[in-house]
Chain A
């Protein structure tokens, strides 16, 4: 049976570094996907997540609910991404050429690839709060309750952000799909 987050955190605090590797491997994919959609750059996203996980390790004793390590580290990352976006206010974020290819069925070809590219572009044009809510809801597949707990916002506010994101995406994508 897999150890819980709380068990792994306790082992880390007792000096077991490999317990932290287990936590990193457990959460790195979701953290990286979130950072990638928020900051728009694979290199910046990897840096964000790396720095976040290092900071989380050093501050591990301040994680008040070790069984919710994932939500706790996510909030550190979310704030770090907001730092980054604030520092880039007014500057355009272009999708780099080396974005990770999600893969999929090659037979779906050019049409799917085109829609994927358009969706990625459109997500980056959303205001950060809407982008964040949409990504967590529709890319990560979290429930409103889970997202509200991570972001520490009300479900009502969250739904409004998701609704506005959908409408904005609909307008941005137009007849492309």
Chain B
């Protein structure tokens, strides 16, 4: 791996002029200067002419949501939440939910799934009051953002979904409102996702108790 001198980074950031660099770095700096016209050329690319007309055609005749105002006027079911149900939700949220549910699911599904190849039903739970949609995406569903949609049938802000997940160790995240990727705050382990965030890890043991 090439390491660039810190002063070269400062030069490339425009913090110091070429003359401030030691002679041995100026050759490298001039090499980088050759990229200038190339990067400028990349900057000159414009959006296709068809893009704006296509957007306008799709929005024509519709009105944008006014956000909170629409939410206040939109009809929505309101159901009283029993204290016991609220306590159950609090209990679920206090534990690594995916792992807990996976163990319960394994217990209830092993009778039906006798082979180590069959996926396990895992219940995902995510608290997102006010969200319009919550999905779970991971390597078990090709990271499709709308393949595994959770439900909040009683409108209490707790979204749940039961989905088949193969045995093994998996990476996943929740997606709120279609475009906000959120790490499961109650996972027991995480790994960098390559985008500056964290994927949660879900481990489903094989029937012999071994990891994949």
Contact = CB atoms under 8 A, between A and B. Distances in A.
Interface of A: 12-13, 15, 17, 20-21, 24-25, 28-29, 31-33, 36-37, 42, 46, 49-50, 53-55, 57-62, 76, 79-80, 82-83, 86-87, 89, 100, 102-104, 108, 112, 115-116, 119-120, 127-129, 132, 138-141, 144, 151, 153, 157, 159, 161, 163, 166-168, 170-171, 177
Q: Which of B46, B51, B67 has the most CB of A within 10 A?
A: B51
B58 A54 contact: yes
B148 to A, nearest CB: 13
B39 interface: yes
The 6 closest A-B pairs by CB, nearest first: A61-B67, A102-B41, A60-B64, A86-B143, A32-B47, A61-B66
Contacts of A61: 64-70
A113 B1 CA distance: 26
Nearest to A15: B63
A134 B108 CA distance: 49
Which secondary structure dominates where chain B touches chain A? loop
A79 B179 contact: yes
Given A58-B64, A59-B65, A104 B12 contact: no
Contacts of B142: 87
Which secondary structure dominates where chain A touches chain B? helix
5 contacts: A32-B46, A82-B195, A103-B41, A138-B39, A167-B4
Interface in B89-117: none
A167 B1 contact: yes
A33 B45 contact: yes
Interface stretch (B29-37, B74-82, B118-126, B203-211): B29-37
Given A61-B67, A102-B41, A102-B44, A82 B181 contact: yes
A138 B3 CA distance: 19
B181 A79 contact: yes
B40 to A, nearest CB: 8
A140 B137 CA distance: 31
B64 A59 contact: yes
Contact of A100 (B4, B45, B69): B45
Given A32-B51, A89-B143, 5 more contacts: A32-B47, A61-B70, A62-B67, A112-B38, A115-B35
A166 B4 contact: yes
Given A60-B64, A112-B38, A166-B12, A21 B52 contact: yes
A139 B66 CA distance: 35
User: Chain B contact residues (Cβ within 8 angstroms of A): what range?
Assistant: 35 or more
A120 B66 CA distance: 40
Contacts of B166: none
B56 A20 contact: yes
A170 B62 contact: no
Contacts of A20: 56, 59, 64
Nearest to B48: A46
Interface in B126-162: 137, 139, 142-145
B62 to A, nearest CB: 7
A60 B65 contact: yes
B27 interface: no
Contact of B194 (A33, A59, A80, A127): A127
Contact of A116 (B38, B56, B143, B194): B38
A166 B47 contact: no
B194 A128 contact: yes
Contacts of A57: 55, 59, 62, 64
A100 B209 CA distance: 53
A12 B38 contact: no
